Chains A and B, each alone.
Chain A
């Protein structure tokens, strides 16, 4: 069923189109010409060994100013977002689930998400979400992630366990309903129960209007969130693209054979 959706969606324009993207941090080039197209309804996975540039790619799409884009373009729904700030990208519907969510003592999860939702609405010329509607949505989405109500009044990520932090990221994603969700190493630090809850949360948020980019080191997460397309990132370049079978192949063979293949090409 999912394949049919994908085929249909290919006829429409890309949601995200990255062309020849080069990015560096402190003068060192990390991304060396990335090309990537993601369509509505699709789940893409980016895999690669440590240091290949996976998290950099996520940060650059989200607009992290620590990274300098030296060449290429990032198009989101046909418009170039390369110059936009992270909040402006969020307003367009891009969401990044952090590998290491930041702890912010002094502001509760609830107040944080209210601020976030209302700022996004403001950017779209909408009024604040009515309090009862907000409350209902918070209840519904926190239930989806099996979050305790006490959790919502705690300070944001402050003293949260690894699993709680990741669940909280997906809770925010559920609240914000982004068009493109980038999940950066969402599986790291999760036990099997948390992994199941988080993955189910992500899967239930999928529609044929939104897209997901899963960044992971391991195949394990892809058993739960099944990708349509798998890309392998090596030394700042996508060296191979395939379907979910590629992920399984990587799990068995590692990355070395691809390294040899890509150097052979040069």
Chain B
């Protein structure tokens, strides 16, 4: 049985366990029908031209884990940003782990999607926001059909979340192959502030496929910073679809650090629904060992006087593959748009591949849209220069790669994350840098 068939037949079993009276039921129903009609995307779809899901869809995934698995904090502490105080929402094999989590309802809500979907007091919010930022898409539909758990975060008007929220999804390998579908809903109301750190982490070499969907609503004059840490095992694949809907005068940023995983697809979409909005999309990708990362971004400028900044850097070696497909749409009404897009890549050896495809569709006539993409090698002249200063070849390469990735890290506002990512970059490159960061 193909994974598609397995999912469709599992849907009936899934439905039995949930409240059929719930309004979400109708949404699930049409979602599974949409998925049934469209199926998984293939390379024939323009948006999936450079990324094939074939190799990961072959596995016989368990759709629902059979048993709960308890993790000790001390064993998984290293996957948390633990040197700062945060709220944490932790899932183990798709199931909420209360003892690893620290949720809140005090000044704002950082809790569970399952409660939001099922408790009456959240009904009006779910009606207003759930599945409202997403377009028609087979993978999103699949996630919607099976929506059960995930993070629910809502920051009320003019509240600044006093600490960042970490959303961590562990897979324990209790199943030979596991498919999980987290669904996150994040609402930052007018004038609020929020920082989120997200991570998917497999703890064994068993296959994992995560089909994650996140909706982020950024209210007027609100500020949301989202950090995605992707440094998973080479047996774990991730399809992350994130939709950010921004209201006027808001600023939203998403930083994606793709440092490991078998296949990672980031569908990152920003919709600007008001004037004077700033959208920031940044990514550092460092891959080796046949890993594959595909950044598929969209910024839709729907109103005048807005900005967007995209800056993605990639370093690829040892049969790894990088894809960047960055779309910028500027509607006719969106005059005075300032859209910037940059994608720079370094191929370390002949075996690695990079596909970079900027796509700009501009219907307004008074805009500033710039884009540039480069694919190249490390600059030999710069390597030589560093070597004449006593820096050995290997360290010189590391310093150049670090320098290359560094300006993406510059905009990271949480120093502990910056430090952690810098260390991971240094570790991946395999050398100690000669200075503290």
Contacts and interface: CB of A to CB of B under 8 A. Distances in A.
B390 interface: yes
B20 interface: no
Interface residues of B, number: 26
B81 to A, nearest CB: 24
A26 to B, nearest CB: 14
B381 A87 contact: no
B407 A119 contact: no
Interface in B255-297: none
Give the interface SS of chain B, mostly helix, strand, loop or mixed. Answer: helix
Contact of A106 (B384, B407, B433): B407
B430 interface: no
B434 A106 contact: no
Nearest to B403: A106
A106 B385 contact: no
B385 A115 contact: no
A204 to B, nearest CB: 21
B390 A105 contact: no
A232 interface: no
B142 to A, nearest CB: 40
Contact of B389 (A90, A106, A110, A111): A90
Nearest to B407: A106
Give the interface SS of chain A, mostly helix, strand, loop or mixed. Answer: helix
Contact of A87 (B379, B391, B404): B391
Contacts of B406: 106-107
B395 to A, nearest CB: 6
A106 B401 CA distance: 9
B399 A115 contact: yes
Interface in A142-177: 155, 172, 176
A198 interface: no
Interface in B81-107: none
A147 to B, nearest CB: 17
B388 A96 contact: yes
Interface string B423-437: 000000000011100
Interface of A: 62-66, 85-87, 89-91, 95-96, 98, 101-102, 104-107, 110-112, 114-120, 123, 128, 155, 172, 176
28 contacts: A62-B388, A63-B388, A85-B392, A85-B393, A86-B384, A86-B387, A86-B388, A87-B387, A87-B388, A87-B389, A102-B382, A104-B385, A104-B400, A104-B403, A105-B407, A106-B403, A106-B404, A107-B403, A110-B435, A115-B399, A115-B434, A115-B435, A116-B389, A117-B390, A119-B390, A119-B395, A128-B434, A172-B389
